[in-house]
């Protein structure tokens, strides 16, 4: 059973801006009924480049409806240049979280927004429409997989399936998906790392804790809390069963610190406090 936030349930039971805009300035259509999810986003943009109205029609699950509803709320009243910066993670955060298995719904929302903006500008479809089709079951391309891996820092085939559905059908593409994950990871390692501001570092640490660390700890009845970040010093507190576990020291050094160094900065040093 998936855990849905109250905000997500509100947008599912009471979706905002459902419908069609006649003579819309931009229309974006993504997904397909054959794949189980389809979304059409309509935009009305005024002469000053402000999104005056946005409506959607969708076929999909509750998370797909909620993600599309949230997206329209997020972009109405914003300049187009600001609206186009909305990411799938922004949609998930607006809904106070999406189950990992439903993250593809937020990705579909972001793709619909890009397609609608491209249509408004008279541009060609975005990169996910081009490239090698990797997943024949759901029509997902290599470019789409590379992008979602890069933007969401995905590391496993299962995560790619959650975000794109690729690999969730016959499974014949799973080896190719792993190759693409390795390719993106190698490219990231080859790029010189830009120094993070303290705010950027804190946000990235929180993301890594939520994505890579907390689920494993919670599976064993434990949890972790981020207390402070001071330069490369990261202060945390173990909670629940982890706080009293005899192997807590190994958990911190061998798991938590290792993950933070892998995904944030190799220079990070972890420190535990009892609170």
Q: pLDDT per residue over 7-61, tens digit each?
A: 999 999 999 999 999 999 999 998 876 666 889 999 999 999 999 999 999 988 8
More confident residue, 133 or 190: 133
Helix (H, G, I), strand (E, B) or coil at 121: helix
- Residue owning tokens 């299962």: 158
Q: Are the C-beta atoms of residues 184 and 146 closer than 8 Å to each other?
A: yes
CATH code for the domain of 31: 3.90.1010.10
CA distance 147 to 110: 12
Say if pTM beats, i.e. exceeds, 0.85. no
CATH code for the domain of 242: 3.30.300.130
Closest CA to 140 of 104, 182, 106: 104
Of the listed ranges 41-55, 118-132, 148-162, 172-186, the least confidently predicted one is 118-132
Domain boundary among 121, 142, 172: 121
Radius of gyration over alpha carbons of the chain, in Å? 20
**79/13 same-domain check:** yes
**152/241 same-domain check:** no
Q: Are the C-beta atoms of residues 260 and 208 closer than 8 Å to each other?
A: yes
Q: How many domains does the chain have?
A: 3
Residue positions annotated with a catalytic role: 35, 105
Residue 189 — pLDDT band, cuts 50, 70, 90?
Answer: confident
Helix (H, G, I), strand (E, B) or coil at 8: helix
| 1 within a domain of the structure (yes/no) | no
**78/112 same-domain check:** yes
Q: Output the pLDDT for position 22.
A: 93
Domain boundary among 98, 121, 144: 121
Range of the domain at 246: 198-272
**146/207 same-domain check:** no
Whether pLDDT at 1 is above 70: no
CATH code for the domain of 150: 1.10.10.1100
DSSP letter for 15, please. -
Q: pLDDT per residue over 97-123, tens digit each?
A: 898 889 999 999 999 999 999 999 998
């Amino acid at each position: 059973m998936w855990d849905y936030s109250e905000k997500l349930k509100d947008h599912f039971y009471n979706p905002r801006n459902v419908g069609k805009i006649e003579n819309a300035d931009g229309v974006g259509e993504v997904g397909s009924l054959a794949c189980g999810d389809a979304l059409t986003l309509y935009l009305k943009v005024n002469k000053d480049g402000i999104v005056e109205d946005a409506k959607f029609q969708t076929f999909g699950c509750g998370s797909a409806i909620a993600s599309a509803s949230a997206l329209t709320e997020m972009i109405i009243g914003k300049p187009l240049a600001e609206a186009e910066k909305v990411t799938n993670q922004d949609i998930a955060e607006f809904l106070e979280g999406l189950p990992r298995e439903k993250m593809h719904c937020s990705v579909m929302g972001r793709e619909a927004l890009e397609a609608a903006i491209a249509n408004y500008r008279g541009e060609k479809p975005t990169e996910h429409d081009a490239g090698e089709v990797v997943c024949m079951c759901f029509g997902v391309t290599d470019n789409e997989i590379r992008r979602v891996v890069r933007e969401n820092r995905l590391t496993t085939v299962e995560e790619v399936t959650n975000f794109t559905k690729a690999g969730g059908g016959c499974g014949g593409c799973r080896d190719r998906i792993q190759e693409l994950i390795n390719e993106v990871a190698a490219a990231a390692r080859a790029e010189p790392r830009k120094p993070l501001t303290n705010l950027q570092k804190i946000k990235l640490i929180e993301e890594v804790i939520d994505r890579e660390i907390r689920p494993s700890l919670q599976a064993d009845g434990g949890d972790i809390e981020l207390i402070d970040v001071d330069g490369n010093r990261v202060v945390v507190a173990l909670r629940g069963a982890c706080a009293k576990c005899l192997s807590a020291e190994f958990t911190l050094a061998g798991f938590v610190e290792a993950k933070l160094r892998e995904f944030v900065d190799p220079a990070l040093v972890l420190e535990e406090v009892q609170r």
